[in-house]
Chain A
Amino acid sequence: MEPPASRKKDWILSQEAFDRLLARLDPDPARAGQQYESIRHGLITFFECRGRSFPEDHADETINRVARRLMEGKEIYAGHPADYFYGVARNVLKEQWSAPSAASLDSSSGSVPHPSHNPEEIREREWQRQRDEQRLECLERCLQELSSKDRDLIVAYYQGETSVKVRNRKQLAERLAIPLNALRIRALRIREKLEACVAHGLDRAPRT
C-alpha cells in the first residue's frame, strides 16, 4: 500500500536506503558513487532546463522517491537506471506545475519602479557592485590556486575576442594534440572548478 502523501513528503533518506540505492546502481561501490553523481547532476540540469528555480531540491526529491520505492521493495529498473529516475523526475515536475508555488517565481517578473525612485533598487545596486568586486577578487585568487597547467589552458582558451578566440583555440588544440571538442570539455572542467571556487569564496565573503 502507498504511504499517505504526508508520510511520503516527510520521508528522509536513511543510510540504509542510500546504500541500497547505490547497490542498485552498480555492485561496485566506486562505480555506483560515480553513477549516483552523474544521475544527480543530470537531474539538476533537467529541472534547471525545465525552468525550476531550485533544481537541486527537486533532484534530491527525485532521488529520495526512488530510494523510498526501493526500500518498499519495489522493482524499479528495466533498462538503464537513469531512465527510471527520469520518469520519477517528470512526475516531480508535473506536481510542481500543478501546485501553486512561490519557488518558481522569476524575479524578473512584475513591474519595478525606476531605479532612481526605488531605495530597494539602489541598495540592491550597491550590493551588486560590492558583490562584483568580491567576485573579481575571488576569481583572481581561484586562478592562482589552479595548477599552472590548468591556468595556462584556461587563460589561453578564453583569450581574445570572438575571431581571435576561435583561432587561439584551434592553435591550442593543435599544440596539445587533442581534438577541438576534447579541448572544449577540458576547458569546461577547469571552468566548473573555477565557478565552484568563486561561489565558495563569495559564500564566505562578508555580506553587507
Chain B
Amino acid sequence: MSQTDDHTRLTDYLLGRLSPEEATSIEERYLADPAFHDELRAAERDLIDRYVQGELSDAEEFETRFLSSPSRRQRVEFARALNHRLTRAPGVGATASGAAARPASWRRGFAGPQRTGLAAAAVLVLAAAAWFLVTGRSDQPRAIPASPTPQTQPGPVAEAPRPDVAPPSRGEPGVDVRVATLILTPTATRSSDETPTLRIAGAAGVRLVLYAESSGFDRYRATIRTGDGKEVWRQDQLTRTATASGPAIIVALPAGRLDANDYTIRLSGIRGAEVEEIAGYSFRVRK
C-alpha cells in the first residue's frame, strides 16, 4: 500500500470512518509496530492542522468524532498556537488571514472575531515588545538603560498585522504600545528608595526586565507576589537574555494579572534539582 493510501486510511481511522475489521487491523499494527504508530500520530497532527487552518471539508465530523479527550483538545489548542506562531513567520509569503478556524462546539463562543482579536493582540504584544527592546522605551525612568538585542525576539514581529480594534496610542507616531516594560534591579542594590512604578493602563502585556548578578544556573524562576504575599504569577524555565547592559531575565505576563498594588518578585536560579534564591525586587503598579 502506498504512503498516500496509508495516510488516507489513517485519517479515516482517526475520524472513525472505518469498519470494525479495518479499525482492528490498524490497531493491531500500530500496537506492535512503533514506526506505524509514528505514522498514525503524524497523520493525526496533519488532520489537526487542517482543522485549525479551516481546510477540512467537514469540520463538524472532526469535532464530534475526534475531539473526545482532553489531550486531543489540548493538541488542537497547541496547533492553533503553533499555527499562529510559525505559519505566519515573516519572509515565507504568509498572509495575515491565517488560521480562520470555525468555532468548535466544545468551545462555543470562543472563536471568530474574539480569537482573531486575541491573536492580533498576541502579535501586538510581540511587536510592541520588540519596539521596546529596540528603543529601550519604558513607562518609567530606568535605573539601567536597557536595549536587549533584537535577535532575541520571535519571528512574527516584522510583519505583525494590525489589530481589529486599534489599541490606545501612547503618543508615539505609528506605534501601538500595548506592552508596559519595567527595568528592575535587585532591591538590595538599588540606590534610590523610590519604588519603581509601572503604569499599565491600556497595556495588554507586561515585561519585567530583571538584572541580577547570577550565572551558572540552568534555568531561572520568577515568582511575583502582592505586598501581602499572595502569589499572582510564577514562571519557571526562564533563561538569561543578552542585553546591551548585560544579561537579564525577562518575565512576560498578561497585564490583567496585575492590579494597582505593590508587588515583590523573587528570582531563583535552578541548577539540576537545586533551587537557589538570587535576588528580590519590588515594584508598584498603577493603572
Contact = CB atoms under 8 A, between A and B. Distances in A.
Contacts of A46: 27, 31
B75 A164 contact: no
A66 interface: no
Interface stretch (B105-113, B209-217, B271-279): B105-113
Contacts of A201: 236-237
Nearest to B122: A136
Contact of B31 (A39, A133, A164): A39
A154 B49 CA distance: 14
Main secondary structure of the interface of A (DSSP, over half): helix
Interface in B64-97: 64-65, 67-72, 74-75, 77-78, 80-87, 89, 92-95
Nearest to B219: A145
B155 interface: yes
A130 B92 contact: no
A185 B38 contact: yes
A128 B110 contact: yes
Contacts of B23: 49
B56 interface: no
A162 B55 contact: yes
B82 A53 contact: no
A40 B184 CA distance: 47
B154 interface: yes
A47 to B, nearest CB: 8
B34 A38 contact: yes
B81 A198 contact: yes
Contacts of A164: 92-94
A122 to B, nearest CB: 9
Contact of B82 (A55, A139, A205): A139
Given A55-B71, A195-B75, A115 B109 contact: yes
Contact of A155 (B16, B45, B104, B155): B155
A181 interface: yes
Interface stretch (B141-149, B175-183, B226-234): B226-234
Contact of B28 (A86, A137, A188): A86
A160 interface: yes
Contacts of B168: none
A48 B15 CA distance: 11
Interface stretch (A2-10, A14-22, A23-31, A104-112): A104-112
Contacts of B65: 51
Given A45-B30, A191-B82, 18 more contacts: A42-B34, A49-B14, A49-B16, A51-B16, A54-B69, A85-B31, A125-B109, A135-B77, A145-B237, A155-B86, A160-B94, A161-B93, A161-B94, A165-B87, A195-B75, A201-B237, A204-B234, A206-B234
10 contacts: A42-B34, A45-B40, A46-B27, A51-B65, A52-B68, A108-B106, A133-B122, A158-B87, A187-B42, A206-B231
Interface of B: 3, 13-14, 16, 23, 27-28, 30-32, 34, 37-42, 45, 53, 55, 63-65, 67-72, 74-75, 77-78, 80-87, 89, 92-95, 98, 104-110, 114, 118, 122, 154-155, 205, 231-239, 252-254, 256-257
